[in-house]
Amino acid sequence: MTKSENISKSFEMAREQYAEIGVNVDQAMDKLDLFPISLHCWQADDVGGFETSDSKLSGGGIQATGNYPGKATNIEEHRMDIEKSMSLLPGKQRLNLHAIYGDFQGKYVDRDQIEIEHFQSWIDWALELGIGMDFNCSMFSHPKAADNMTLSHKDKEIRGFWIEHAKKCRAITAEFGKQLGTPSIHNIWIPDGSKDVPVDRYTHRAILKDSLDDILSLDYPAEYAKDAIECKLFGIGLESMTVGNSEFYLGYAISNQTLICLDSGHFHPTEQVGDKISSTLLFVPEILLHVTRPVRWDSDHVVTLNDDTLLIAQEIVRCKALDRVHMGLDFFDASINRIGAYVVGTRAAQQAMLFALLEPGETLLKYEENGQFFERLALLELLKTKPFGAVWDYYCMKHDVPVSQDFISDIQQYEKDVLSKRA
């Protein structure tokens, strides 16, 4: 039997087994096809970007650890790595860009000066690939963010600079949406916070509220752009207070009906982002996710198919919110092959979605409503040993991307041919 016959045969058997518990695998795969994942551009170069100034990642409590060779050092290499990663992924992706990744052509363009011209080549690239794009203002790794205060800075000039940056970014976002024909999400995350116990939290939060009001005062059509704001519990070096905490941004998002961005690493380790989806969906129009894997802190390890990722996927499916929850990724591991990181992490997120879509929802709900909790538990446990892998393999084959372990050698080859030759 050839390899593909084998995959198909296993899939046929899997399809029958799932049908026995009332699950239609073909429908699940079709739904997964329509659920894009937004690949964060920053795994490719450890959140470096292409500004000509000294723009290595610094401050803001985000840290890429590791020094694996072969990272992308310019826009060509960067695009090549993203394309390579996407070529190894089934289903649909988007690209999530940060403002520091503009095509600046070797000139120094300060953050408050960026224009659509610096991103037109990204739009053209995305058009060629047929993908959508999302965007982020970059409020870190900059002299004006050196004291870890940006939009909530008490100095009017400094916060004015960042307000201007965010406004420019929103205009660029709208242009992404317009030219690419799919709404683009602009996410605001700021590092603002304090290492030691501050005495004035209130004023910083009041200032942040005003800054956001100013930034969001201009409306863009929803078919072009959407706004998200990202909360956080703490950052390294900013342990005592984060201005934009969960209460602040959830309050702001509800009052202003923006998207809330929930990052898996931005809560207390015993909290699960999956649990927050149903609560927030009742009060905000849509949710943006930054799926990542915090290990002991907001470490941004590569996403794996663990309970936290699964619960996120299950809740998206159980809330029937595939069109209201946007899944972006936010991990940056500099200690392993970065294309490998993209592929493993994105595949894990997609697998979580497929796993959730293969749930016998009606039966589980019936058990729950009847108080049949042993039965609910039994069926949930049973699902873990269903031939999920056979469906996943078939899904990859259907999308003409490497099946099972085959992407490993593919990435090893890319490392040998391309990455290892980089300076």
Q: Which of 205, 232, 293, 326 binds ligand RNT (CB under 6 A)?
A: 232
Structure tokens at 5: 């016959």
Structure tokens at 366: 């019936």
Q: Based on the shown chain and the rule CB under 6 A, indicate whether residue 136 belongs to the binding site for ligand RNT.
A: yes
Fill in the amino acid letter for 58.
Answer: S
Fill in the amino acid letter for 192.
Answer: D
By CB under 5 A, the residues from 273 to 302 that bind Zn ion are 290
Alpha-carbon gap, residue 49 to 144, rounded angstroms: 17
Helix axes of 75-87 and 338-357: crossing angle, nearest 10 degrees: 40
By CB under 6 A, the residues from 86 to 125 that bind ligand RNT are 98
Contacts of 33 (CB under 8 A, 6+ apart): 91, 92
Report, as residue numbers or ranges, the catalytic residues. 189, 230, 232, 263, 266, 290, 298, 300, 330
Least distance (Å) between residue 378 CB and ligand RNT: 38
Q: Based on the shown chain and the rule CB under 6 A, indicate whether residue 263 belongs to the binding site for ligand RNT.
A: yes
* Site string (315-334) toward Zn ion, x via CB under 5 A: ---------------x----
Judged by beta carbon, residue 15 or residue 71, the one nearer ligand RNT is 71
Furthest C-alpha separation in the chain? 71
* Site string (294-313) toward ligand RNT, x via CB under 6 A: ----x---------------
Residue in the block written with tokens 């049973």: 382
Fill in the amino acid letter for 277.
Answer: I
- State which residue has the least CB distance to Zn ion: 290
Least distance (Å) between residue 291 CB and ligand RNT: 11
Q: Looking at the DSSP assignment, which residues form a beta bridge with residue 187?
A: 136, 228
Using the Cα atoms of residue 67, residue 70, residue 71 and residue 74 in order, give the sign of their dihedral. Answer: positive
Residue in the block written with tokens 């809740």: 315
Alpha-carbon gap, residue 371 to 373, rounded angstroms: 6
Stretch that binds Zn ion, among 72-80, 234-242, 261-269, 315-323 (CB under 5 A): 261-269
Judged by beta carbon, residue 81 or residue 263, the one nearer Zn ion is 263
Residue in the block written with tokens 């073909």: 26
| Runs of H (alpha helix) within 130-245 | 156-180, 202-215
Least distance (Å) between residue 260 CB and Zn ion: 12
Q: Which of 32, 37, 39, 47 binds ligand RNT (CB under 6 A)?
A: 47
Least distance (Å) between residue 330 CB and Zn ion: 4
Q: Based on the shown chain and the rule CB under 5 A, indicate whether residue 263 belongs to the binding site for Zn ion.
A: yes
Using the Cα atoms of residue 366, residue 369, residue 371 and residue 373 in order, give the sign of their dihedral. Answer: positive
- State which residue has the least CB distance to ligand RNT: 189
Q: Which of 192, 286, 330, 415 binds ligand RNT (CB under 6 A)?
A: 330
Judged by beta carbon, residue 38 or residue 179, the one nearer Zn ion is 38
Q: Based on the shown chain and the rule CB under 6 A, indicate whether residue 290 belongs to the binding site for ligand RNT.
A: yes
Alpha-carbon gap, residue 303 to 305, rounded angstroms: 7
| Residues forming the site for ligand RNT (CB under 6 A) | 42, 47, 62, 98, 136, 189, 230, 232, 263, 290, 298, 330
| Residues forming the site for Zn ion (CB under 5 A) | 263, 290, 330
